[in-house]
Amino acid sequence: MSRKPSSRRNVVIESEPLSIEPIMNLFVLLIPFLLYSAAFITITVIKTSLPQIASATADASQPTTPERSRLELTVAITDKGFTVAGAGGVLKGQATSTVAGRQEATIPLRAGKDYDFVALSKIIYQVRKQHPLPTNPDVVPDPDQVTVIILPETEVLYDTIIKTMDATRDTNAMSDELRRELGIVQPAELFENAVLAAGIR
């Protein structure tokens, strides 16, 4: 005796179309959030260089400045402030005493914690006035005339080094009030070639 066919074989399972609406709703909420939280970075290039070994022979085709004493301007950034020095020695500032045989900074920290970039700009501007660049456009300035050596201690922050380079490069970093105080009418170059030494954190 044959068995009756099962009714399960005659059941047709209908598949429903996949709904992508929940996924679309998720992207609608996610995309604005990602755009809002995205970080936009502006990259600025700062002209600087490392110490170079001077060539044994000079290019005779370019006119050079007359023989003069070297400036060798140096700005040291320490935990005491700025120390400005040159070939003639360390420039004295507000504090000239020594502690444990160490020369005090030319420009001490303000309130013991903030670097005084305004005072640094004033001193660098006075140094440039005492050592002006050649007025003759055919005369090539000696590299020493446009170079400042930045000597930061290991613990000095990168932001402090950049602000120091800005204060020594030209007068554009000065405030309008400071330019009026110094009698600066037109933007002027100070020491555009910054040479970094020591450590950067």
Closest CA to 124 of 80, 78, 174, 161: 174
Please determine, for residue 119, whether its predicted confidence score (pLDDT) is greater than 50: yes
| pLDDT tens string 173-195 | 888 898 899 888 888 889 988 88
**What percentage of the chain reaches a pLDDT higher than 70?**
68
Listed in sequence order, the residues at least 6 apart from 75 whose beta carbon sits closer than 8 Å to its beta carbon are 82, 83, 84, 120, 124, 148, 149, 150, 151, 164, 168
**AA letter at 192:** E
The whole-number pLDDT of residue 57 equals 45
> Which two structure tokens, joined as six digits, stand for 178?
């400071």
Classify residue 143 as left (phi > 0), alpha (psi -120 to 50) or beta: alpha
Find the mean pLDDT for residues 32-52.
Answer: 64
Half-sphere exposure of 41 (CA within 13 A, CB side): 3
The whole-number pLDDT of residue 144 equals 83
The whole-number pLDDT of residue 186 equals 86
Find the mean pLDDT for residues 155-169.
Answer: 91
Would you call 194 helix, strand, or coil by DSSP?
strand
Please determine, for residue 61, whether its predicted confidence score (pLDDT) is greater than 60: no
Give CA 12 to chain center in angstroms. Answer: 73
Q: How many residues can be counted in the chain?
A: 201
Least confident interval from 26-40, 88-102, 110-124:
88-102
Q: Which residue has the higher pLDDT, 55 or 130?
A: 130
- DSSP H or E stretch at residue 164: helix 158-169
Please determine, for residue 77, whether its predicted confidence score (pLDDT) is greater than 50: yes
Find the mean pLDDT for residues 76-99.
Answer: 73
SS3 labels along 171-183: HHHCCHHHHHHHC
> Which two structure tokens, joined as six digits, stand for 121?
């700009």
pTM of the shown model: 0.62
Q: Which residue has the higher pLDDT, 4 or 195?
A: 195
Q: To the nearest whole number, what is the mean pLDDT of the chain?
A: 76
